[in-house]
C-alpha cells in the first residue's frame, strides 16, 4: 500500500526534527528515522491505529510516536498522512 504525506504533515515532522536538533542533532536523526519506520509499519496493518475521537470518521486514524499523534486517512489504495499533532496540542474538533 502506498503512503502519501500531506505538505502539512511533512512540514510538522521536519519542524519537530529541527526542534530536537537544536539540543541534539543525533537524537533528531534517530527520532525522525524512528518516525518513518513507525509509519512504514502501517503498510502491513493499516487499520492498526485507533479512530481519531475528535473527528468521528472511521477512516481517519492515529498512531502514537512520542510526543506526537500521527493522523492518517485510510483509503483502499493508499494511506495519507494528514498531520502530526503534539500530545499537548489542542486538536481541532473538525477536520
Dump pLDDT digits (tens) for 13-57: 999 999 999 999 999 999 999 999 999 999 999 999 999 988 888
Task: Place 11 in a pLDDT band, splitting at 50, 70 and 90.
Answer: very high
Task: Indicate whether 16 belongs to any domain.
Answer: yes
The enclosing domain of 34 has a CATH number of 3.30.2310.20
- Alpha carbon distance 63, 3 (integer Å): 14
Within 10 A of 21 (CB to CB), how many other CB atoms are there?
Answer: 15
Q: Give residue 26's domain range.
A: 2-86
Q: Could you tell me the pTM of the whole model?
A: 0.90
Task: Indicate whether 94 belongs to any domain.
Answer: no
Percent of the chain with pLDDT over 70: 95
What's the structural domain count of the chain? 1
Amino acid at each position: 500500500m502506498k503512503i502519501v504525506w500531506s505538505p502539512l504533515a511533512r512540514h510538522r515532522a521536519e519542524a519537530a526534527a529541527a526542534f530536537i536538533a537544536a539540543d541534539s542533532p543525533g537524537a533528531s536523526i534517530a527520532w525522525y528515522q524512528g518516525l518513518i519506520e513507525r509509519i512504514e509499519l502501517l503498510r502491513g496493518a493499516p487499520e492498526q491505529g485507533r479512530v481519531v475521537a475528535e473527528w468521528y470518521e472511521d477512516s481517519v486514524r492515529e498512531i502514537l510516536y512520542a510526543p506526537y499523534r500521527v493522523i492518517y486517512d485510510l483509503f483502499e489504495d493508499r494511506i495519507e498522512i494528514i498531520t502530526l499533532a503534539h500530545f499537548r496540542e489542542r486538536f481541532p474538533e473538525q477536520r
